[in-house]
């Protein structure tokens, strides 16, 4: 099982991991640690994969995930919920021990956050749309409402699609520059005219800094390029495959 960690997030109270696609029970295009209930994979296999990932963090922890919609909506988690009841949102925060906050991705950037002193954790799903809308700021605000302090929060940005693999069209870059002219630095010209290569991880880090988070570690593996290690929506699309799996990133307060 491939598990990557951001050094600043770990403590005696907090367990976290950015999981890859290895170590599960799924097969075919979902091989093997597919944790996405929204995929066409066998439900029992998905549930087993989610249990394996959760157990690798903390025995007995209850995993919660969201119905992710590429928004800047953040919710407070006070108790675990079942998959059919997961709220439509892209960020969450909790101060309750025994809960594992899970984010599902397949090229988007997962963000895990912690204020160990306040015993508050957060997690967010940052695709380009949610990142531009302010999902990084939303998860920080949700943590702050539970007692976290922005200057104490440590954030890890997990594996996502790299700038070299993320080409975007002519309608994309002007939206970011219109929001903030400084966003131009996250784009470099692509080989195709009026196309750009977008640095998603770098942009997410900048939004976290603007939200008052100074301690940020970004993990650099590219989900598109490392097929053996990660699922990738864009890779699947380019190959015209029927579906794709989702890797999970999770953070838990240990009881």
Task: Give pLDDT tens digits for 51-64.
Answer: 999 999 998 899 99
Task: Give pLDDT tens digits for 190-233.
Answer: 999 999 999 999 999 999 999 999 999 999 999 999 999 999 99
The domain ranges of the chain are: 3-253
pLDDT, residue 255, reads: 78
Task: Give pLDDT tens digits for 72-131.
Answer: 999 999 999 999 899 999 999 999 999 999 999 999 999 999 999 999 999 999 999 999
pLDDT, residue 2, reads: 84
Write down the architecture of domain 3-253 according to CATH.
4-Layer Sandwich (3.60)
pLDDT band at 161 (very low <50, low <70, confident <90, very high): very high
pTM of the model as a whole: 0.98
pLDDT, residue 1, reads: 82
SS3 sequence of the chain: CCEECCHHHCCCCEEEEEECCCCCCCCHHHCCCCCCCCCCCCHHHHHHHHHHHHHHHCCCCEEEECECCCCCCEEECCCCCCHHHCCECCEEEECCCCEEEEEEECCCEEEEEEECCCCEEEEEEECHHHHHHCHHHHHHHHHHCCCCCHHHCEEEECCECCHHHCEECCCCHHHHHHHCHHHHHHEEECCCCCCEEECHHHHHHHHHHHCCCCEEEECCCECCCCCCCCCCHHHHHHHCCCCCCCEEEEEEECC
pLDDT band at 12 (very low <50, low <70, confident <90, very high): confident
């Amino acid at each position: 099982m491939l598990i990557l960690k951001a050094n600043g997030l770990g403590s005696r109270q907090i367990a976290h991991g950015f999981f890859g696609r290895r170590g599960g029970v799924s097969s075919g295009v979902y091989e093997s640690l597919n944790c996405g209930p929204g995929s066409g994979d066998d439900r029992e296999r998905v549930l087993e994969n989610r249990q394996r990932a959760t157990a690798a963090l903390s025995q007995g922890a209850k995993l919660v995930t969201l119905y992710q919609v590429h928004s800047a909506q953040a919710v407070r988690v006070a108790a675990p919920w079942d998959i059919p009841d997961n709220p439509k949102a892209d960020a969450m925060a909790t101060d309750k021990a025994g809960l594992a906050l899970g984010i599902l991705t397949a090229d988007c950037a997962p963000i895990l956050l912690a204020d160990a002193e306040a015993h508050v954790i957060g997690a967010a799903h940052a695709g380009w749309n949610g990142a531009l809308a302010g999902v990084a700021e939303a998860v920080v605000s949700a943590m702050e409402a539970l007692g976290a302090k922005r200057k104490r929060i440590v954030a890890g940005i997990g594996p996502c699609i790299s700038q070299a693999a993320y080409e975007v069209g002519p309608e994309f870059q002007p939206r970011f520059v219109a929001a903030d002219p400084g966003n131009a630095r996250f784009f470099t010209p692509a080989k195709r005219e009026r196309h750009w290569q977008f640095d998603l991880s770098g942009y997410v880090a900048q939004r976290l800094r603007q939200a008052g988070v100074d301690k940020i570690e970004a993990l650099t593996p590219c989900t598109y390029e490392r097929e053996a290690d990660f699922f990738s929506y864009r890779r699947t699309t380019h190959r015209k495959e029927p579906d794709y799996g989702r890797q999970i990133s999770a953070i838990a307060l240990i009881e």
